[in-house]
Chain A
Amino acid sequence: MAKGPTKSMWMRMLTIMLALVVGTFCVSATRLAKIMLVDSDFYQQKASEQQLYDTELSPTRGNIYDRNMNVLATSATVWTAYITPNDLKKITNQSEREAVINLIADNVSRILEIEREKVIECCNKSSAYVILKKRVEKPQADELRRFVSENSLGYLIGLDESSKRYYPNENLASVLLGFVGDDNQGLSGLEAYYESELKGIPGRVVAAKNARGMDMPFSYEKMIDAKPGNSLVLTIDKYIQHVADKLLEQAVIDNKVAERGVCIIMNVNTGEILAMSIKGDFNPNEPFAISESDAKLLEGLEGDERINKLSELRNKQWRNKAVSDPYEPGSVFKVITLSAALEEGLTSFDKHYNCPGYIVVAGQRYSCHKRTGHGGQTLIESFQNSCNPVFISLGQLLGVKTFSRYFDAFGLSQKTAIDLPGEAAPMYHKEENMGPTELASTSFGQTFKVTPIQLITAISAAVNGGYLVQPHVVQQIIDSNNNIVKTVENVRKRQVISSETSTKMRHLMEKVVDGGGGKNAYVLGYRIGGKTGTSQKVDKMNQEKQGNLYISSFCGVAPMDDPQIAVLIVLDEPKGDAYYGGMVAAPVGGQIFKEILPYLGYQPQYSEEELQKLAIKTPDVVGKSVSTAENAIKSLGLNVKIVGKGETVLKQNPAPNLSIHKNGIVVLYTDSTEVNTVTVPKLTGLTIAGVNTQAAKAGINVEFAGPSLTDSGVLSYKQSIPEGTTVEAGTTVTVYFRSEDTIE
């Protein structure tokens, strides 16, 4: 019997053990090699996730300023309020849970101004995180924190920090500025176009964390600061934009404009856009809200139909009609045809034309808007009358090749490359496809489409010495320390017409406002030029089998001795009393010039005739004896009404130094300053004399607006204080007059 393992047994055992050890080692080595060499990235990532925390630091979005550094858009911190319903379910006692839900619903709905039912619905969801309200501002957030703290609800309700974009001027230039989404990303307008400049570069914090997940400061912490976005300094002037917004909105309401209105104000020499207004627009602080009139269109719609209509209405209010919607410019385009004809020497001021009311081209009859014809007329009169046959003739004289060359040169065959998103390309007859009839219709502004920004740029070239400029809305990009990162240079692309031709065009355009179709844009003391336009929306009329639909427009320039500012008004489908550009768009242009020219430093220069028609200033007679006051007022050609039996004037209306027309009335209060009231009469549809008579009868004063001082053939169409309103005796009511000439 063996005393123990033999040597061979030992050897076998050792061999087996060695094989086991080597095998185990090989497996471990292979596994280790795979982990270290093949899957190293994966495990490194897992280790980093376990041992480090990585937080992205959101950069502050850049601001948007107007040209005078007024803030148009900025960002600030807000919070997202949330609830964790799954934690609520951990309360097993039913009545206790109900009590907590009611407590939350009552207070959270009050603090966050949301419906109580919505809060209860959020509480009953099976989710770890439900948003109660986004963009909660500090006062509400502080109140919510207090409520949570007082009731020890920190495990249920919380606030996550986020950012909100503020547009302090609300609708001002809203379509131009655009808006941002929930993730602070620009979704339309300048916010989208300059997203890369505005958004900034996110920063990061990478740091080690301890077993509890808390950070370990000073050990293994690396921080890369977020780089704030750059800010934009626009060419827009906040005041001019306000004037454009205000007057365009009023025009859209007054003229029942169905398809929105556009107003662009541009520096003709530099291409800087001073204002770009689109109505109806939206409030960028609540970009998804729609107007009341649009909301009515959703009534009765349900399901997908409602969703689609809502989406259509939202897209419409965000759309920049000034750059995205080409339209037929109508007679405003005659400025381009005439510039080309003058430059080519095909016509001159002393040329005479005859308009029988129509013209036949290649068997196609084209009517003038005045069916009976304008008869014999000079070139200036043809332009004032906006005579279609004359301009068709000029087009024929130019010929397809030359006409197309000028069409190109004025930049109407391509996009302007303005720094705004969604610029549409024009739709026009190319030279190779243009026959005599296409040339005829194009010559007076029909059967092709350009965008408003293209048209105002082309008109600017016609009056600024002949230079086609690059329109733009951003003049500088600055960093967060206000250092200039980029300056946008004013660019002259080319000279289209000579300086001499441009001078002639200025003269002709001034004649249109002085006595032609644009006379409703006349402003006392200023030299204004312009051209009106009324085009039919033939494509839509045919497509939708509708009656006549029009686009009314006016493009004005001032001051005509040294043009600086161009204003383009486009009213799409006016459905009020009138639709002619001269009647609905030109008055808006005039009002805009009246407000912005003094602001820009252009003081009125009155002619002798104008000075005689100027309003008188009311004298200051407060504190004087009644007889002295009466004499002072009467000596100025004004009437006096004395209220009371006192001997001294205690109050007067209108107040001292205000404009008042001859034969106006000044009410003097002598006993007490208690006002004497009267009722405002109907002052529309009347001549100047008629308005004066009605005002005198009622004991009120009137101020005339529009071309009333230069043209006797005008009628009042609007009054600043509605008929039937009770006002203080002597109150001044502004009455708006316009010429009723139906010139396109």
Chain B
Amino acid sequence: MDNTKYYTGSLAYDFDLFLPREKKKNQDSAKIVRMPKANSRTRTLAVPVAQKVGSVLTVAFILAMVFMQLYLRVQINEINDQIHKKKAAVEELISEETRLQMELERKISYKNLEEAAEALGMRKKERSQVTYIRVNNANVAECRDGKVIYDSDKME
């Protein structure tokens, strides 16, 4: 295993101190050829324009991405909040439906129905009041209210 890469990758310690030192080569100052200084005006115009534009665009792009992320987060939060509210509303309505259903059940309980029927002078139907009609296939019976009863239904 090559530990060197590991050592060189560490930021906490300067592992170069433990590596074998390379002998410094003698630099021949005579061989150094100094370039003539460029005209400062030419240097200012040639390099920075593209760099500046690039930098500005990069910063703008990064800022746009950051703000877009923030905006998306805000949007997600808002939608999430709406989902929670809608879910709560649905649950509340389901619950309210149960309550109303129970209220209806209570109002039409056997006890209340019997009391109401008795108050109206009604009595339970007797066996002699019931007449069953047997009809052939495809026969139908039409009631006064327009309701059609097919032969599969029991008719009283």
A residues at B contact (CB < 8 Å): 71, 74-77, 137-138, 166, 168-170, 172, 217-218, 238-239, 242, 245-246, 598, 603-604, 617, 657-659
Q: Known contacts A217-B80, A657-B128: does B109 contact A166 (CB below 8 Å)?
A: no
Complex CA–CA separation, A71 to B105 (angstroms): 9
Contact between B99 and A138 (Cβ–Cβ < 8 Å)? yes
**Interchain nearest-CB distance for A528 vs B (Å):** 18
Q: Is B154 an interface residue (CB 8 A)?
A: no
Note all chain A residues with C-beta closer than 8 A to B128. Answer: 617, 657
Complex CA–CA separation, A617 to B130 (angstroms): 13
Contact between A76 and B99 (Cβ–Cβ < 8 Å)? yes
- Choose the segment among B16-24, B57-65, B88-96 that binds chain A (4+ C-beta atoms closer than 8 Å): B88-96
Note all chain A residues with C-beta closer than 8 A to B103. Answer: 168
Partner of A71, one of B91, B92, B102, B123: B102
Note all chain B residues with C-beta closer than 8 A to A239. Answer: 110
Complex CA–CA separation, A75 to B110 (angstroms): 21
Contact between A658 and B126 (Cβ–Cβ < 8 Å)? yes
B interface: dominant SS: helix
Contact between A168 and B102 (Cβ–Cβ < 8 Å)? yes
Contact between B96 and A138 (Cβ–Cβ < 8 Å)? yes
Contact between A168 and B76 (Cβ–Cβ < 8 Å)? no
Contact between B80 and A659 (Cβ–Cβ < 8 Å)? no
Contact between B99 and A657 (Cβ–Cβ < 8 Å)? no
Q: What are 21 residue pairs bridging A and B, where the CB atoms are less than 8 Å apart in the complex?
A: A71-B102, A74-B102, A75-B98, A76-B96, A137-B99, A138-B95, A168-B103, A168-B106, A169-B109, A170-B106, A170-B109, A170-B111, A217-B76, A239-B110, A242-B109, A245-B111, A246-B111, A617-B128, A657-B128, A658-B126, A659-B126
Number of A-B contacts (CB under 8 A): 62
Q: Known contacts A238-B110, A246-B111: does B76 contact A76 (CB below 8 Å)?
A: no
Note all chain A residues with C-beta closer than 8 A to B127. Answer: 598, 603-604
Q: Is B136 an interface residue (CB 8 A)?
A: no
Q: Is B77 an interface residue (CB 8 A)?
A: yes
**Interchain nearest-CB distance for B88 vs A (Å):** 9
Q: Known contacts A74-B98, A218-B76, A657-B128: does B105 contact A169 (CB below 8 Å)?
A: yes
Note all chain B residues with C-beta closer than 8 A to A617. Answer: 126, 128
Contact pattern, B 95-130, Cβ under 8 Å of A = 1, otherwise 0: 110110111011001110010000000010011110
Q: Known contacts A168-B109, A169-B106: does B98 contact A138 (CB below 8 Å)?
A: no
Complex CA–CA separation, A485 to B11 (angstroms): 63
Complex CA–CA separation, A217 to B79 (angstroms): 11
Note all chain A residues with C-beta closer than 8 A to B80. Answer: 217-218
Contact between A242 and B111 (Cβ–Cβ < 8 Å)? yes
Complex CA–CA separation, A188 to B20 (angstroms): 86
Q: Nearest CB to that of A525 among chain B residues?
A: B127
Beyond the given A76-B98, A166-B102, A242-B109, please list 12 additional residue pairs across the A-B interface where CB-CB is below 8 A.
A76-B99, A138-B99, A166-B99, A169-B106, A169-B109, A218-B80, A242-B110, A245-B111, A246-B114, A598-B127, A604-B127, A657-B129
The listed residue with most B CB atoms (<10 A of its CB), out of A71, A168, A604, is: A168
**Interchain nearest-CB distance for A596 vs B (Å):** 13
Contact between B92 and A77 (Cβ–Cβ < 8 Å)? yes
Partner of A217, one of B77, B91, B99: B77
Note all chain B residues with C-beta closer than 8 A to A77. Answer: 91-92, 95-96
Complex CA–CA separation, A659 to B76 (angstroms): 73
Which 8 pairs, one residue from A and one from B, show the smallest C-beta to C-beta distance? A168-B105, A77-B95, A76-B98, A242-B110, A166-B102, A168-B102, A76-B95, A217-B80
Contact between B99 and A172 (Cβ–Cβ < 8 Å)? no
Contact between A76 and B102 (Cβ–Cβ < 8 Å)? yes
Complex CA–CA separation, A239 to B124 (angstroms): 14
Q: Nearest CB to that of B107 among chain A residues?
A: A168
Complex CA–CA separation, A71 to B97 (angstroms): 14
Contact pattern, B 80-92, Cβ under 8 Å of A = 1, otherwise 0: 1000000000011
Complex CA–CA separation, A598 to B126 (angstroms): 10
Note all chain B residues with C-beta closer than 8 A to A218. Answer: 76, 80
Q: Nearest CB to that of A70 among chain B residues?
A: B105
**Interchain nearest-CB distance for B98 vs A (Å):** 4
Note all chain B residues with C-beta closer than 8 A to A169. Answer: 105-106, 109, 111
Note all chain A residues with C-beta closer than 8 A to B91. Answer: 77
Complex CA–CA separation, A166 to B91 (angstroms): 17
Note all chain B residues with C-beta closer than 8 A to A657. Answer: 126, 128-129
Q: Nearest CB to that of B88 among chain A residues?
A: A161
Note all chain A residues with C-beta closer than 8 A to B109. Answer: 168-170, 172, 242
Complex CA–CA separation, A245 to B111 (angstroms): 10
**Interchain nearest-CB distance for A311 vs B (Å):** 29
Note all chain A residues with C-beta closer than 8 A to B105. Answer: 71, 168-169
Complex CA–CA separation, A246 to B118 (angstroms): 14
Complex CA–CA separation, A659 to B80 (angstroms): 68
Complex CA–CA separation, A218 to B72 (angstroms): 13
Complex CA–CA separation, A217 to B84 (angstroms): 11
The listed residue with most B CB atoms (<10 A of its CB), out of A75, A76, A239, is: A76
Q: Nearest CB to that of A219 among chain B residues?
A: B73
Note all chain A residues with C-beta closer than 8 A to B111. Answer: 169-170, 172, 242, 245-246
**Interchain nearest-CB distance for B125 vs A (Å):** 9
